Amino acid sequence: MLSLSLLLDQVIDHIDQLLGNKGWPLFITPCTIPEFQNKLVILYESEDAVICDEKLVTFKATADSTSSSDDEDDAPSLQTTKDQTGKLETTTSKVSIFDERLDHSFLSSPQPLLKSTKAEMNFIYEENGSFKLLWMGEPLFSHSLHEPFIYTGSSTTDYSMRLGHFVINQNIHNKTSLLVQKIQENGKHSYNIQMQSGLRLTFTLDKNHVDIDINQNSYIQSIIEDEDIVKEIWFRIKALPFNKESIYGCGQQYKYSNLRGKTIPIWVSEQYHERLDNGAGSSLLPKTTTYHPEPSFISPQRGYVFVAYGSAYARFDFQNEHYHELHFTNTPYRLRFFLKSADSDYLSFLKRLAPHPLPTLPDWVHSGIILSIQGGTETVEQKMKEMVEAGTAVAGIWVQDWCGKRITSFGKRVFWNWQYSDILYHNLPEKIQEWKRLYNSSFLAYINPYIATDGPLYKEASEKNFLVRKIETNEIYQIDFGEFFGAIIDLTFPLAFEWYKNVIRKNLIDIGVSGWMADFGEYLPVDVRVHTNISGELIHNLWPVLWAKCNFEAIRDAGKTEEVVFFMRAGYLGIQKYCPLFWSGDQSVDFASDDGFPAAIRSMLNLGVSGGCLYTHSDIGGYFGFDRGDESKLIRSKELLFRWSEMGAFNAFLRTHEGNRPDLNVQFDHDNETKAFMARTSRIYAYLKPYVKRTLQEGIPSLTPMWIHFNDLEQALSDKYELQYMFGTDLLVAPVVRPNVRKWTVYIPSNEDWLHLWSNEKYNKGEWEIDAPLGKVPVFYRATSQWSNLFKQLSNM
């Protein structure tokens, strides 16, 4: 018996020969005409068809015959002749696609063969091989001849990386929908659906979610003769019209809040910066690249969160008015729809997505601001002393150059050899204890999963074969990080993983470091050879997850989970289990919507609703800047620092950054006014400590969009108020994200009374123009809040 899976493989492998100018087939199904047993019928929209066998000999079938004869003389017959070259040619008589010997039940009107109801879900399978899932009466997805839910095919994907940016070019060779062969009940509310080619889907309906498990042994995961051509899969989810459905999530998204009408690459990468990436092929980069993509999104109007469990490159296309198309270059093993019932709210819905146990932050981080200081022991001591004397609540100092500095044309950077620099910070372990004793201030450092090739740790890792290599030459892969090179620790190699954990423990934790930025995780090319022999395409998105796991285990093994914290910008599905705190990455030091202050807020809100990433923050004042002489400058202003700081006080973590041009940017100690402003900001944040700690125990993101809390979706989802957010459940914050503005329009979405934090004036539902001088970001609290007495005291600060 000819394997249908094998035959379909061959059909797809030679699809160009078969299709000609016919276009994509509507479906491919086994032929039931006795003369053509073990062959396939391919039907096209034109109602032309071909029948083919394992040798890919085609038998033309047309729709211009309205009937077929039972006479033996009218049966199709195969004839072969030789052309001048001796090559066999094949001709046949005509066969009608309406031949009664063909199984054409797909043309009949649908009749339900199976119907299952669970909560507000209805799964329906019909006799023509179609199926659909209804959620609260509306189709979530459906599969039929004319509206397929699933497609398979193949493409060539080329990945090019420079400075962490990836230009990804795809050439799709074919894309074909499949019909259902059979359905089998697999227990109550669970069904196996056998598609053509051996692809099997298992649908499981639960009270709160629907799972679609995908058979990982199916042909769509295999790699055929040309290893650059991988068979792929597409899914289509029903969409509402553009004016009736919004889409949020997909990780940290900077340019857009609502992703409807956009295509989002699910690939860990540097964020797109139009003004700064002109040397990295920025014209070819999608505007939606991100350090932390998540293969998940939320539809507020439909009431579901979608999550795909897999690691390959994917594209989530929300541009069609009728469906969302999700393209995976390798098959995910599960798709899951988390469903919100009609009588529940989004707040409780989000709690279901939280990791368990809930991540925690050390108590000390809520005691004040984390000040970013570099330049050596004397500079650290002088700046810290001045800020404490100015009345600043300093919870910690973050010293990036603890391990040395490197000056490049980009600016001031860190020497990536993870041992403290005795030149810059002589006797650092003793100094850390001294600063803790004098100022009750913790010490934070910096590390990433790469090591500089001109440092001693590189020599040790190289000798132990702990580094990622090039797949073609087996040489150690050295990445250009901008005027210096770094090698990649092979985090899939258990011995290398343990060695790097010990580097973290011995060189950071054991000398008294209480936290660090665990930077990067994006710079893994696809042409790599790693210990586990997993392809670069499949391991790339998982690299920041492995990096988070390394940090997490180093802290856990040291017994310091309640004392030490680390934070990351790169991420992917699964990182929530290991990393307790995220930051929005490298934003520009201005008010630019796409990559400046507003982008930082937008990214935090989108990450929060992507599922499970609870605590996030941003670099106060931003990071990226430049000075190109007479050409152009991008330098942090005092106003930007003030506006960013006043927003940052209403979050779970408050930390400054000097930026890549620290000598040009306005810093927290710029002048007496700035010192006083930052001191007041730190005290506001510290005063909110009881509320912050309680908020972090609720299992919801620290920052959430308004529509998570209120039923007024039309206004809450409006682009005009996209950057307003809820801090916890009782504080509504409306950041001022434009320069030279001292009044700000705020929308109160709830009919209950709200009190303005700085004046204690009462407001209720509607649009209001609020005074917003520097230092008094528009903030409101519920009049009925159990924290109202705490909030009232802030008006005196």
Look up 232 and say whether it is catalytic.
no
Nearest to 709 by CA among 202, 235, 345, 304: 345
The active-site residue out of 490, 522, 595, 730 is: 522
Look up 730 and say whether it is catalytic.
no
Look up 519 and say whether it is catalytic.
yes
- Report the phi/psi class of residue 561: left, alpha or beta, with left for phi > 0 and alpha for psi in -120 to 50: alpha
Nearest to 542 by CA among 530, 558, 553: 530
Residue by residue, DSSP assigns 296-351 as: EEEETTTTEEEEEE--S-EEEE---SSEEEEEESS--SEEEEEE--TTS-HHHHHH
CA distance 61 to 48: 6
Nearest to 674 by CA among 649, 624, 651, 640: 640
Nearest to 178 by CA among 208, 215, 205, 204: 215
Token pair for 323: 């469906």
Token pair for 341: 């019932």
Token pair for 654: 């408050």
Contact 8, 25 (CB under 8 A): no
Inter-residue long-range contacts of 19-26, CB under 8 Å, 24+ positions, other chains counted? 19/174, 22/46, 22/48, 24/174, 24/175, 24/176, 24/177, 25/176, 25/177, 26/145, 26/146, 26/177
Q: CA of 647: how far to CAs of 408, 643, 650, 684, 785, in Å?
A: 32, 6, 6, 11, 21
- Residue matched to tokens 């799964």: 123
Token pair for 555: 């802290």
Contact 254, 290 (CB under 8 A): yes
Residue 261 backbone dihedrals phi, psi, to 5 degrees:
90, 5
The active-site residue out of 270, 586, 595, 722 is: 586
Chain centroid to CA 192: 30
Q: What share of the chain is helix, strand, coil (3-state, %, to 5)?
A: 25, 30, 45
CB-count burial class (<10 Å; 0-12, 13-18, 19+) for 167: middle
Find residue 92's DSSP bridge partners.
Answer: 78
- Residue matched to tokens 């910008």: 569
The active-site residue out of 519, 594, 595, 722 is: 519
Residue 313 backbone dihedrals phi, psi, to 5 degrees:
-55, 135
Contact 273, 626 (CB under 8 A): no
Give the catalytic positions in this structure: 519, 522, 586
